[in-house]
Structure 1
Amino acid sequence: MIQELLTYFNPLDYVVIWLVVAFLIALYVSFNTFPAIFMISVKKQLMDEPGSRSVHSKRTPTLGGIAIFMSLVVVITTLGALLNTKVLLLLLGGMSILFFLGLKDDLLVLSPKKKFLGQLLAALVLIIFTDTRIVGFFGIFGITTLPYWFSVLFTLFVYVLIINAYNLIDGVDGLAGSLALFACAAFTYIFLKTQDISMATIAVATIGSLIPFLRLNFAKKRKIFMGDTGSMIIGFLLSFFVVRFLSEAQIYRTSIFYNSAPILALAIVFFPLLDTFRVFFIRIVFHRKSPFHADQNHLHHGFLRLGYSHIQTTTCIVIINVILFVLALLFKDFEIHLQLILLLSIGTILYSTVFLYHWILNSKSKSEINRRDTLI
C-alpha cells in the first residue's frame, strides 16, 4: 500500500503542502539545533575574537552554519526519495565537502588554497556527474553555445565566484543571511514557474533553516555568526541554483525565461558580485595589493561609516536587490543586451545613490558652516 502510494505520488500535485512541509522540517531542525551549538561554543570557547577589521566588540559563537547544514540534510534525507534523488545526493555530497572544510576553518583556520581546492571539488562533482553546467551565453555578445571544456571551466568560475562573494559580504549582522533568504525566495518563484520541484524544495528548506539563524544573528544577546561553514554552504547552494536555472533555460528553449535567464540570475546575486568586483578593483588598482588582502572597503563598511546601523544597512541593501529582481522580471521580454545594460546601470545607480545623497548633505553642511564663518 505504502509502496504504491510512493510510486504514484507526485509532489507537483500537492505543491503548496509539499513546500510547507519542507519549510517546517528545516525550520524545526534549525530552531532546535541552536541551543546545542550555543552550549558547545561557550563550553569549549569556540568564539570569534574581535579584531582590527571586526565591526563587533564581543566574542561571539561562529558555528551557525552547522544548524543550516543539518536542516538541509534532514530535508534531503526525508523528502529527497520522492524528488530527483541523483542530483540531490550529489548536491548533499558537495555541501558535505564544504561543510567540513568550513568547520575546520572556523575552528582551526584553513589555508585559502585548501578552501579553493575544496570548492573546485564540490563543484566538479555536480558538473561532471549531473552535466549541470552553463552551456552558453544566450546570445550575449553573439555567443550561444560554448565548447564543452570551456563550459566546464566557466561554470567552475561561477561556482567559485559566488561562493567567495557570499563569504566576503558576511561582515554585517544579517546581511549574508538576509540576501540568501531573498535569493532563495526568488529561486523558489522561478523553479515553481519552471516546475523544478526538487530545486524549489531545497530553496524553501534553506529559507526555513535561515529564519532561526537570522533571529539570533540580529540579536544583541546570544548572538551567533554563520561562519565560513554557513557562508560556503549558502554560496554553494545559490551558485548551484544559478547554474541549474541557466542550464535548464538554455536546454529547453520553450522556457518562459529563455530570453532573460542570465539577467534574472545576475539580478538575484547582484549585490555580492558588485561588492566583490568593486573591492577587488580598489585593492588591485588603488592600493596595489592582492585582491584577497582583507580591508574595510566593502559597501557595507561604507554604510556603517555613514552612521547606518547593522539592521539599517542590511535592510537598505536587501530592498535594493529586491527592486532589481522585480525590474528584471518586468524587463524579461526586452532584447537581452538591453536587459543587461538596464540592470547594470540601474543597479549601480541605486547602490551609489545612498552615498551620493550623504555626500551632497555633507557638502551643503560644509558650505553653510563656511558661510556662517565668513559672516562672523
Structure 2
Amino acid sequence: MPSNLYHFLAFIISAAVVLIATPIVRKIGLKSGRVDLPGNRKVHKQPMVRLGGISIFLGTLVALLVIWGSGGFIDAQGNHLAPPEEYAIWGVTIGGLAFFLIGLMDDLFGLSPFSRLFMQAAVASIAWHVGVSIDFLTVPFQGLTSLPDWVSLPVTVLWLVGMANAINWIDGLDGLAAGVSGIAAVIMLVVSLFMEQPAAALIAASLAGGALGFLRYNFNPAKIFMGDGGAYFMGFTLAGVGVIGLVKSVTTAAVFLPYLILAVPILDMSAVIVDRLRTGTSPFVADKRHLHHRLLNLGLSHRLTVLFIYALTLWVGSLALAFSGMPSGLTYAIGATVLLSYTSWWVRQQCR
C-alpha cells in the first residue's frame, strides 16, 4: 500500500471513531452527572459534559493500531521501523495515553496544580528515555548546537509538559482548542511527510482526524467539551510529533518548525504567565487574561473570536511550510497572510 494512503486512512479512521463515539460519551456523561457547571470564568450557560477527550483519544489510538496492524509503520524507504524509531513512536502514543489519564483524573476528581505537574514531568521524562528527546537547539550566534543529556532532559520535559498545558489553557471557547490542534496537526502531517518522517506523520494524521471530527460536536454552540484529558492528550501528542518528526532532522529550519507551528498557544501561555507574575498573581490561578478573553472583551462574538484564532494558527503554520523549503510553501504563506489580513480587517470593523 502506498505510504500516503496509510496517512489518509489514519485520518479517516480516527475521525469516524470520534464521530461515532462522542454522542455515546456525552450520553454516559449526562447520566453520570460528569458535567462542567457554569461559573464566573465560564462562557457556557448550562452544564456541559467535559469527557469528550475520551473519544478523541479512542479515535487516535484505534487509527494507529489499525495502521500498525496492517504494517503501516514504515520509514521513508518503505522499510519497517528499526526498534529505536518504533520506540519513539510508541513513546509518543503511550505518553499521550498517560497525559490523557492525568487529565481524566483531574476532570473526574480534581487534582492540585503541583500533583498534575509532577505526574506530567514524570511521564515526559520516561518519554525522553525512550527517544522522544530534543537533542539539538538553535543558539544565537552559534547556530545548531547538540545538547548533552543533562540539558536535553529538562528541555524536553519543559517542551512536552508546557505544550500540554498550553493547549489546555486555550480551551476556553467552544471549538477553540480542537480547531487549533487540528490545524496544527495537519501542518505537522504535511511537514513531517516533506521531511521524510512518515511514521511521525501517521500520529499527526490520526490526531488531526480526531480533533477535526470532534468539532462536529464541539464548535459553537458546543454539545460537549473535551476536558483536561483531551487537551493534555492533544498538547502532548502535538509536542511529541514535533520532536520525533521535525526536531530529529538536523537542520536549523527543522528545529525551529514545531515552535512556529504551535506559536499561538505558546505565546498565549507565555504572555499570561508573564502578566500574572507582573501583577503578583500565581501563574496557576485561572483568570481572564487569555487572547480569547481579550478578543471577547473587545466586542467580538464567540464564533468570530474562534475563527480569528484559527486564522492566526493557519498563518503561522503557513510560515512553517515556507521555512521548511517545501515547494509552493511561500505561496501558501502569502495566501494565509492575505487571509489573516482580511480577517484582521473584519475584526476591526466588528469592534467599532
Q: Distance in 2 between matches of 1:298 and 1:354?
A: 21
Greater C-alpha Rg: 1
Q: Distance in 2 between matches of 1:200 and 1:15?
A: 10
Pick which of 222-231 and 316-325 moved more.
Answer: 316-325
TM-score of the pair, normalised by structure 1: 0.80
Q: Deviation of residue 87 (structure 1)? A: 2.9
Partner of residue 4, structure 2: 16
Q: Deviation of residue 58 (structure 1)? A: 0.9
Q: Is the alpha carbon distance of 1:292 and 1:27 closer, same or farther for their aligned partners in structure 2, counting shifts above 3 Å?
A: same
Partner of residue 211, structure 1: 212
SS in 2 for 1:314: helix
SS in 1 for 2:146: coil
Q: Deviation of residue 154 (structure 1)? A: 0.9
1:214-229 to 2 correspondence within 5 Å? 214-220=215-221, 223-229=223-229
Correspondence 1:279 to 2:272: yes
1:234 aligned partner, one-letter code: M
SS in 1 for 2:276: helix
Q: Is the alpha carbon distance of 1:92 and 1:330 closer, same or farther for their aligned partners in structure 2, counting shifts above 3 Å?
A: closer
Contact 1:134 1:246 in 2 (8 A): no
Partner of residue 189, structure 2: 188
Q: Distance in 2 between matches of 1:38 and 1:136?
A: 43
Match among 242, 260, 265 for residue 267 of structure 1? 260
SS in 1 for 2:16: helix
Q: Deviation of residue 312 (structure 1)? A: 1.0
Q: Is the alpha carbon distance of 1:162 and 1:127 closer, same or farther for their aligned partners in structure 2, counting shifts above 3 Å?
A: same
Partner of residue 321, structure 1: 313
SS in 2 for 1:63: coil
2:88 aligned partner, one-letter code: V
Q: Distance in 1 between matches of 2:253 and 2:92?
A: 25
Q: Distance in 2 between matches of 1:196 and 1:332?
A: 13
Q: Deviation of residue 173 (structure 1)? A: 1.1
Q: Is the alpha carbon distance of 1:228 and 1:141 closer, same or farther for their aligned partners in structure 2, counting shifts above 3 Å?
A: farther
Q: Distance in 1 between matches of 2:199 and 2:254?
A: 19
1:98 aligned partner, one-letter code: F
Q: Distance in 1 between matches of 2:274 and 2:280?
A: 10
Q: Distance in 1 between matches of 2:320 and 2:185?
A: 16
SS in 2 for 1:172: coil
Match among 20, 37, 44 for residue 49 of structure 1? 37
Partner of residue 249, structure 2: 249
Contact 1:283 1:289 in 2 (8 A): yes
Q: Distance in 1 between matches of 2:195 and 2:170?
A: 30
Partner of residue 159, structure 1: 160
Partner of residue 61, structure 2: 73
Partner of residue 303, structure 1: 295
TM-score of the pair, normalised by structure 2: 0.85
Partner of residue 151, structure 2: 150
Pick which of 164-173 and 74-83 moved more.
Answer: 74-83
Q: Distance in 2 between matches of 1:90 and 1:323?
A: 30
1:338-357 to 2 correspondence within 5 Å? 357=348
1:308 aligned partner, one-letter code: L
Which sections of structure 2, spanning at least 5 residues, go unmatched?
74-80, 326-336
Q: Is the alpha carbon distance of 1:145 and 1:283 closer, same or farther for their aligned partners in structure 2, counting shifts above 3 Å?
A: same
Q: Distance in 2 between matches of 1:167 and 1:355?
A: 28
Q: Is the alpha carbon distance of 1:145 and 1:290 closer, same or farther for their aligned partners in structure 2, counting shifts above 3 Å?
A: same
How many correspondences in the alignment? 323
> Cα RMSD (Å) of the superposition?
2.4
Q: Deviation of residue 233 (structure 1)? A: 0.1
Contact 2:134 2:248 in 1 (8 A): no
Partner of residue 338, structure 1: none
Which sections of structure 1, spanning at least 5 residues, go unmatched?
1-10, 251-257, 334-345, 363-376
Q: Distance in 1 between matches of 2:52 and 2:169?
A: 16
Q: Distance in 2 between matches of 1:259 and 1:114?
A: 36
1:260 aligned partner, one-letter code: A
